[in-house]
Structure 1
Amino acid sequence: MGGGALMDFLGTTSLGLLRAVPVTVLLFLASALGASLVAAVLVAMQQARVTQGLARAWIFVFRGTPLLLQIFMVYYGIAALGPIRHGFLWPAFREPLFCAWLAMTCCCSAYIAEVLRGALGAIPVGQIEAALACGMGRWTRLRLIVAPQVLRLALPAYGNELVMMIKSTSLASSITVLDVTGVAQQVIAHSYRTLDVFCLAAAVYLGMTAALTAVLRRIERSLDPLGSAPR
């Protein structure tokens, strides 16, 4: 392939990969939101003896098995069950993007729950006791004492989970989701230029990761009362 043809190929491929960015971003944002909500529920469940075992089992299973395997189990396993295929849930489960979102939400919620639990445990007990002595109700304590500190303490580790999550979206291509990696695989199947295409895809992921990291650092600095968060 000549120099001009190579540049045309790289340019066309880059545009194709960039057009797939919205799919990757949508999967990431939806998974991050879903996983964060489920993680909050898991943390709450661990505070009660009745539901503590169930929450711990969820975290153990989803942290102990590969995300790719979980995606396959949802797409090829759960979606193939008779009650799903012939029920009202089939319109959702027949979509690869939904299956990828469900698997990522379940998996990442387990990791985020541990991050939140660690941040919650780092809050000094004396602060909670002082709030109780002042007559603060449960929701007032949560809003004024617990939530702000949990957010600040958990943000660095939570941010790392988000960065891992945006890279993990590439696994969705294994079930035909046309995200950045999925489009890259299609281009490779027609052009056989594996290294060139994957280098371009890696550059796209680097750009998304850099943008996310910049946003997280800005948020971290804004939450630092001393303004001394690392840049």
Structure 2
Amino acid sequence: MNFEIILEAWPLFAKGVWITLHLTVLALSLGFVIALPAALSLHHKGRFHRVWGAYVYVFRGTPLLVQTYLIYYGLSQFDWVRSSFLWGAPGFLDGTWLGAVWPSLKSAWWCALIAFSLNSGAYQAEILRGGLAVVPEGELEGAKSLGLNPSQVTRLVLLPSALRRALPQYGNEIVFMLHGSVVASVITIQDILGAGRTLNARHYVAYEGFLTSAALYMAITFAVVWVFRLVERRYLRHLNIRTAKPKGAGAPGIAGIGGVAWR
């Protein structure tokens, strides 16, 4: 184990950590934007619940690597994609800030973000739907008795209660998305694993790059687990989820990070 070359490559790994965290946070955020209407529609059997159900089924039923390949390599095979705004910013935006940040399918980074967001959105939709399903009916009836309309009940009571109950699963999803982000390295993105591969290729070594990458992923995962333990302790204590059990038989709860219920 050559620690000298690892220290020399530390700026490369630091950049990889930033890219990994940046991609993961954005994918989780965009995934939540997708998951919110999907979960509400699935829970309430809304007008488009079959469409959302098909979306969730497809993206949960296929590997993230295949989804990334289809978006990065597959869409570029269509002439109409390469000649449309999907392939780059319109000409009149050249030289502007909007043109610089325009999402383009010829960019590996944007393709990875799209694939990760759609994948995470499907999983988050199921997580949130599960949270919505276990909200006690008494909470909703109490809100209605106070004169709240259906929209207010959903916004002020149903969603906050569901999100609180779904916290452990959201922690699992963050860890899953963090680990799944290694897929980005196969489409030329220099994330943590990409930095490890570069180190191995540059110095003709077999283990140093991969072991350093593994250590960084473990450190980030530990930090996520620790933060969610604190959050769960703060917001889930009164729900008796994992943190509190009545005397006698264990109380049913939601499996979460503390129970190592990772996918």
**How far apart are the structure 2 equivalents of 1:150 and 1:48?**
17
**How far apart are the structure 1 equivalents of 2:158 and 2:239?**
20
Matched position secondary structure for 1:194: coil
Offset of residue 45 of structure 1: 2.3
1:224 is the counterpart of 2:224 = no
Give the letter aligned to residue 177 of structure 2.
Answer: M
Instruction: Name the counterpart of 1:90.
Output: 87
Instruction: Name the counterpart of 1:16.
Output: 12
Give the letter aligned to residue 120 of structure 2.
Answer: C
Instruction: Name the counterpart of 2:49.
Output: 52
**How far apart are the structure 1 equivalents of 2:48 and 2:150?**
19
**How far apart are the structure 1 equivalents of 2:154 and 2:45?**
16
TM-score by length of 1: 0.91
Is the 1:18–1:204 Cα contact (8 Å) retained in structure 2?
no
Offset of residue 41 of structure 1: 1.6
The structure 1 segments of at least 4 consecutive aligned residues displaced by more than 6 Å after TM superposition are: none
Is the 2:200–2:208 Cα contact (8 Å) retained in structure 1?
no
Offset of residue 124 of structure 1: 1.7
1:38 to 20, 34, 38: 34
Instruction: Name the counterpart of 1:116.
Output: 128
Give the letter aligned to residue 15 of structure 2.
Answer: R
Cα deviations by residue, 1:81-127 (Å, 9 ceiling, x for unpaired)? 22221111213111101101100111111111111111100012232
1:25 is the counterpart of 2:21 = yes
Instruction: Name the counterpart of 1:74.
Output: 71
Offset of residue 190 of structure 1: 2.4
List gaps (5 residues or longer) in structure 1: none
Is the 1:100–1:172 Cα contact (8 Å) retained in structure 2?
yes
User: Higher helix proportion, which one?
Assistant: 1
**How far apart are the structure 2 equivalents of 1:120 and 1:226?**
18
- Mean alpha-carbon deviation: is it higher for 174-183 or for 46-55? 46-55
List gaps (5 residues or longer) in structure 2: 89-103, 244-257, 259-263
Q: Cα RMSD between the aligned structures? A: 1.9
Offset of residue 225 of structure 1: 4.9
Is the 2:81–2:87 Cα contact (8 Å) retained in structure 1?
yes
- Mean alpha-carbon deviation: is it higher for 167-176 or for 212-221? 212-221
Number of residue pairs matched by the alignment: 227
Cα deviations by residue, 1:203-227 (Å, 9 ceiling, x for unpaired)? 1111111122222222222213549
Matched position secondary structure for 2:119: helix
Matched position secondary structure for 2:85: coil
Instruction: Name the counterpart of 1:61.
Output: 58
**How far apart are the structure 2 equivalents of 1:210 and 1:7?**
23
Cα deviations by residue, 1:43-68 (Å, 9 ceiling, x for unpaired)? 12222442111011001100110000
% identical aligned pairs: 30
Give the letter aligned to residue 113 of structure 1.
Answer: A
Instruction: Name the counterpart of 1:100.
Output: 112
Instruction: Name the counterpart of 1:168.
Output: 180
1:151 to 163, 171, 174: 163
